[in-house]
Amino acid sequence: GFDEQPLCLSKEEVRFPKKAVATDGTLQIVVNDGFYMQGVRVELCLREGSACQFDEAFPQGYTTACKQKFIARKLVAISPGKNPVRPIAVKDFLIPSCCVCTVTPNSINSRIDRGSRPSH
């Protein structure tokens, strides 16, 4: 049978972050010590922004690109700084979740130029 082939190359790993920027824009110290560990599975694009595999199979007039997607995950974190109101809190963090192939129509001029090229 036909084996599935990804359109964008990626790698998966489990990370135990020490510091991260929360979705509210604040830098947080993520609680990860010997007693309390918070591992997150990430999937990272290996060539974000590059054309997807099998790009030539997509219709003329469209451009493909690999794009990193994120998902919000809750982690226990400590707010750095002097006298924070809630020093330990559960915060949302954006975690790289998958690498997708996006398809975008070219501009009208690009379609005309691409359509007028000689075929091989």
| DSSP-assigned states of every residue in 39-107 | -EEEEEESSTTSPPTTGGGSPTTEEEEEEEEEEEEEEEEE--SSS-SSSEEEEEEEEEEEEEEEEEEPP
Q: How far apart are CA 78 and CA 31, in angstroms?
A: 7
Q: How far apart are CA 81 and CA 26, in angstroms?
A: 11
- Per-residue pLDDT tens digits for 30-73: 999 888 999 999 999 999 999 999 999 999 999 999 999 999 99
Whether residue 104 contacts residue 65, with contact meaning beta carbons closer than 8 Å, is answered with yes
For the domain spanning 10-114, the CATH number is: 2.10.90.10
Average per-residue pLDDT for the chain? 88
Name the least confident of 23-32, 80-89, 90-99, 108-117. 108-117
What pLDDT score was predicted for residue 42? 98
What pLDDT score was predicted for residue 111? 45
Backbone angles phi, psi at 13, to 5 degrees: -155, 160
Q: If you search the block for the tokens 């599935």, which residue do you land on?
A: 4
Total count of residues recorded for the chain: 120
What pLDDT score was predicted for residue 118? 47
> Rounded to two decimals, what is the model's pTM?
0.76
Any idea where the domains of the chain sit in the sequence?
A: 10-114
Confidence of residue 109 (pLDDT cuts 50, 70, 90): low
What pLDDT score was predicted for residue 13? 97
pLDDT at 80 over 70: yes
